[in-house]
Structure 1
Amino acid sequence: MKSHSLLFILLFGLLTSCQDVLEPKSYDLQIDEITLTRAADVPLVRIGLYNAFRSLTSDIVIAGDFTADNIKHNGTFASYQEFGTKQITSTNSDVQDFWASVYRTIYVANFILEKLPTVSGVTEDSRKQLIAEARFLRGLANFYGVYTFGDIPLATNTDQATNRNIPRTAKATVLTAVLADYTAALADLPDDSSTGAAYVSKRVVQAALARFYLYQKNWVQAETNATTVISSAKFTIVPDFNTIVNQNFTAESIFEVGYTQSDDPATLNNLFVSRREVIPSDQLIIALNSTESGTRAATAKFDFAQQKGSDNGWTVQKYGTAIAGNANIVVFRLAEMYLIRAEARAQQGKLSGTSGAVADVNVLRTRAKGVALAVGSQADILLAIERERQYELAFEGHRWYDLVRTGRAQAVMSAFSPNWNSRYELWPIPQSETLRNPALQGAQNPGY
């Protein structure tokens, strides 16, 4: 994939072409290339916003699983080899793509926030909802950006002269902006989307707040927001974990990025299955086949015919094609809410009983037919939750972020790879950005 400048590189024809979202061409976007001058433009611009965010979701899987110990490089792509060998560079094309996807989403959101208030003929409810969606997705893009790169430029408008020279903004300031966007979105979104998990609703924002507060170590608010989502009774833990692997839009899904047969680029399917560029690591396979994990071994499948050389014969099963019915990328689902609440409760010393961390973990152990977790020390329960997150959320983009936020990355990753270095707890700022943006020159993350 090609490199991108900080904010003004969007795909030409963003509103109509999914393939271009995933293989974007470099263009400096002029304001009039996205039309928002009349009420009839609103539905197309809304699609453009969600398409922009969709381009980020596969990058999140790459960051969350490839940077950590869930994968083993098995192909020829240099960018994936860097993740496999833990020798990530600032010229890595996937690092550049992640950055571009973050700011593509932010740019479209900012465009909507600037233009929509001036468009006549739009109903007040439609205006409020799209503005809320734009603020939420801008906040979510900034959330992923700041936890991937650290301090990042905080872009709040579409002015080209301003945005071509934005310095890095302190992480705490960016997170304050994220929380402000989430809070504003929460006020104006419907309780539940009329189109299901494909679009943002209050429940999605509450799930995002639960994750936000977990990362902030605000255990009370993490527990409260996770409980709100769980108690809404709008989502249910599906009885068979195979359903999570093999089906889109399950009863557990809170928010997921959907594809159809006509627009499915099968990006992750090509990566995991067709090309086998990346395969599950030996360590992950051992974990998934443990008695604790139970039926979550279905996340990967063994084929003796594939086993040769360094290939362990295992293949990721979570991402098929639209025809197969499991092409989507899940952003939030109910199981994560139970895991967030379990961790928040454990951190507060709430270990046993029906309102304790162990009970929440065992909701998922029971579904997976794994060995039930027994009450133990707080430290033991927290390590069990770490393992549970790896079993349950493998290849959904969580593992690296989990290890970094809990301070466990060095211990786990140095045992996994002799090349691991603490600098990999953040990705580098793409070299293309430090060259193009004067305010980023000399501001690279340490060690790169």
Structure 2
Amino acid sequence: MKKLLYIFAVTGMMITASCSKNFLQIDPQQQTDASLVIQDLPGTRAAITGIYSLMQSINGYGRTTTLLPDLMSDNVYISKKNQGRYLAYDQYNTVATDGYAASQWNQLYRVVANTNLLISKAEKVDYPVADQAEARHIMGEAYALRAMAHFDLVRFYAMPYNFTTAADHTGVPVVLKSGTNKDEIQSPSRNKVKEVYDQVIADFSKAISLLPKTPVGFKTAMRGRMSHYAAKALLARVQLYREDWVAADTLAADVITNGYYTLLSRSQYIEDGRKLNNAESIFELQYNLLDNPGSDALANFYWQSGSYGDALASENLYNAYASTDIRRGYITKGKRKDGEDPAMLVLKYINNTSFEEPVKVIRLAEMYLIRAEARQHQGLDAAAAQDLNTIATRADASWTPTAATGAALQALILDENRKEFAFEGHRLFDLTRNKLTFTKYRSGTNTIAIQPGNGKTILPIPQSEMNANKNMEQNEAYKIK
């Protein structure tokens, strides 16, 4: 972290008003003060735009962050005809020197470092009255994005919140300050998981207080920027993961009732589900003709036509859908060229020409299923079943509304999550936080039984980080015995 934060500070923070996408690359010897750059609204706008760009990377939501929770679960496997990407995750033999784990770690901490810089510098700017509302909104976005990055880090690199009774097991470093010279750089140790969650909640809460219910600087129909209700929706997810059922219920209900989102109809689900700014999307990472991952995009990893298409859906996932379920339209039974026959081909991401399909970070459907799960755990089974039925019926006209209770209802809610959010980066976390045994499917008849607490369900701390930071501790499954 010591080495990395110094790199982030001197290469990731400098933004000019004319910079439309990326932070400028600054020579470390220049030691330029970020306050010379973030000194007005145009500079602040450029800063937040740069942070969104960091999150779009293939080392973040553009591929790895979205792919791994499906690949490491019972949803997805790598074809025997492949380009060699992510094989260790398919085989559950990842090692500490794994490049994907290191790249995602670095990318997420770049987001943290740059949000820290924006927050610290923008707080000192005396914005004209006419600019203050938008500047305040951008500050709220920065707090929410810092929360999101820390949350993703603790989800991927630490065991679930309920792994220990008090969540006092090892988490990830909480970094709230980014220096602009070597003297300000520290070598942080890993915080406890509870401490990470506490900071994530504090940052999302701060963001909600800064973000007005009607966005400033963009319209409510724009889903590619963090908003008041997007921050609440993500906080609802955080509270669900930490098993604060009342808080998760309350936040999800607020977004459902007061947010400006509506569920897509059954007839709209497949086509509109791939579109920018659809009515159900709460927050998404967006791409355009000039700003996209190109051949490294999710579409190329999943889609077979003109792509490398290494990732296939498991037959187990395909069979989880009734034949009348519209969501089955995101999978088709076909043949993998020079590979599996039959193969379950994924159709969720199919734009491999302009690569403009957004990555859906959180949708309104999740609010219904968060509320369902939270209410079931509060003993409110009838209300929980109602939310479950809303999502299930939307997808499948033949769904028979359930009146299940207790553990049976809980299992149905989890199954519905699997069907609703396949290929969106949810499944592994739902399995591990519920302490469930699952089967990792692979090509052919190869399978791996994954037990609760398996240390390989989380990623290694990068070996380069271990080498650079004397205070860093490796995850147990990756320690040299």
| TM-score normalised by structure 1 residue count | 0.88
Are 1:170 and 2:192 an aligned pair? Answer: yes
Q: Read off the aligned partner of 2:379 and give its amino acid letter.
A: G
Structure-2 residue corresponding to 1:36: 38
Shift in alpha-carbon separation, 1:276–1:46, aligned structure 2, 3 A: same
Please tell me whether the aligned partners of residues 431 and 438 of structure 2 are also in contact (alpha carbons under 8 angstroms): no
CA contact (8 A) 1:197 1:256 kept: yes
The structure-2 alpha-carbon separation of the partners of 1:39 and 1:326, relative to structure 1 and needing over 3 Å to count, comes to closer
Q: Cα distance, 1:186 vs. partner?
A: 0.6
Distance, in Å, in 1 between the alignment partners of 2:29 and 2:391 is 46
| Residue number in structure 1 paired with 2:224 | 198
Q: Please name the residue that 1:331 is paired with.
A: 361
Aligned counterpart, 1:278: 311
Change (3 A) 1:383 1:30: farther
Deviation of residue 337 (structure 1)? 0.5
Distance, in Å, in 2 between the alignment partners of 1:135 and 1:338 is 25
The amino acid across from 2:315 in the alignment is D
Instruction: Give matches, 1:271-420, under 5 Å.
Output: 271-273=301-303, 274-288=307-321, 290-291=322-323, 294-304=325-335, 306=336, 309-310=339-340, 312-321=342-351, 327-352=357-382, 356-369=383-396, 370-408=398-436, 410-413=437-440, 417-418=447-448, 420=450
Q: How far did residue 136 of structure 1 move? A: 0.9
1:151-230 → structure 2 map (5 Å cutoff): 151-159=171-179, 160-161=182-183, 163-193=185-215, 194-195=218-219, 196-230=222-256
Query: Cα distance 1:437–1:17, how it changes in 2: closer, same or farther (>3 A)?
Result: farther
What is the deviation of 1:100? Answer: 1.2
Identity %: 27
Counterpart of 1:134 in structure 2 is: 142
User: Could you tell me which amino acid in structure 2 is paired with residue 135 of structure 1?
Assistant: Y
Does the C-alpha gap of structure 1 residues 338 and 142 become closer, same or farther in structure 2, counting only changes over 3 Å? same
For 2:235 and 2:354, how far apart are their aligned partners in 1?
32
1:190 CA drift (Å): 1.8
- Cα deviation for residue 381 of structure 1 reads 0.8
**In structure 2, how many angstroms separate the alpha carbons of the residues matched to 1:372 and 1:30?**
66
Once residues 33 and 319 of structure 1 are traced to their aligned partners in structure 2, the CA distance between those partners, rounded to angstroms, is 41
Cα distance change of structure 1 residues 30 and 258 upon mapping to structure 2, 3 Å threshold: farther
In structure 2, distance between residues paired with 1:29 and 1:287? 57
Q: CA deviation at 1:13?
A: 9.8
The answer to whether structure 1 residue 80 and structure 2 residue 82 are counterparts is: no
Q: 1:333 to 1:314 in 2, by over 3 A?
A: same
State the Cα deviation string for residues 57-111 of structure 1 (Å, max 9, x = none).
1332123212212111125444511111121222222111210121011011001
Q: Secondary structure at the match of 2:448?
A: coil
* Cα drift, residue 395 of structure 1: 0.8
Q: How does 1:52-67 map to 2 (within 5 A)?
A: 52-55=54-57, 56-58=60-62, 59-67=64-72
Matches within 5 A, 1:74-113: 74=79, 75-113=81-119
User: What CA distance in whole angstroms lies between the structure 2 residues aligned with 1:312 and 1:256?
Assistant: 33
Deviation at 1:270, TM superposition (A): 1.5
CA contact (8 A) 1:351 1:358 kept: yes
2:471 maps to what in 1?
A: 439
Per the TM alignment, residue 12 of structure 1 is displaced from its structure 2 partner at its CA by 6.8
Q: Secondary structure at the match of 2:477?
A: coil
Residue 54 (structure 1) shift? 2.4
Which amino acid in 2 is paired with 1:188?
L
SS of aligned partner of 1:314: strand
Taking a change above 3 Å as real, the CA distance of residues 347 and 39 of structure 1, as seen in their structure-2 partners, is closer
SS at 1:327 equivalent: coil
CA contact (8 A) 2:285 2:361 kept: yes
What secondary structure does 2:5 align onto?
coil
Looking at structure 1, the residues matched to 82 and 114 of structure 2 have their Cα atoms a distance apart, in angstroms, of 34
Q: Distance in 2 between matches of 1:270 and 1:322?
A: 6
Long gaps (5+) in structure 1: none
Whichever structure has more helix as a proportion of its residues is 1
State the SS of the aligned residue for 1:332: strand
- Counterpart amino acid of 2:412? A
The CA distance in 2 between the partners of 1:347 and 1:225, in whole Å, is: 16
Q: 1:385 to 1:340 in 2, by over 3 A?
A: same
Single out whichever of 55-64 and 410-419 deviates more from structure 2. 410-419
Structure 1 pair 363/315, CA: closer, same or farther in 2 (3 Å)?
same
CA contact (8 A) 1:9 1:104 kept: no
- Listed one character per residue, the Cα deviations across residues 242-268 of structure 1 (whole Å, up to 9, x for unaligned) are 135432221001111111122222411
- Kindly tell me the number of residue pairs found equivalent between the two proteins: 434
Cα offset, 1:152, TM superposition: 0.8
Which residue number corresponds to residue 243 of structure 1? 271
Contact 2:173-2:191 at 8 Å conserved across structures:
yes
Note closer, same or farther for the CA distance 1:88–1:372 as it changes in structure 2 (3 Å cut).
Answer: farther
Q: Is the 8 A contact 1:223 1:344 kept in 2?
A: yes
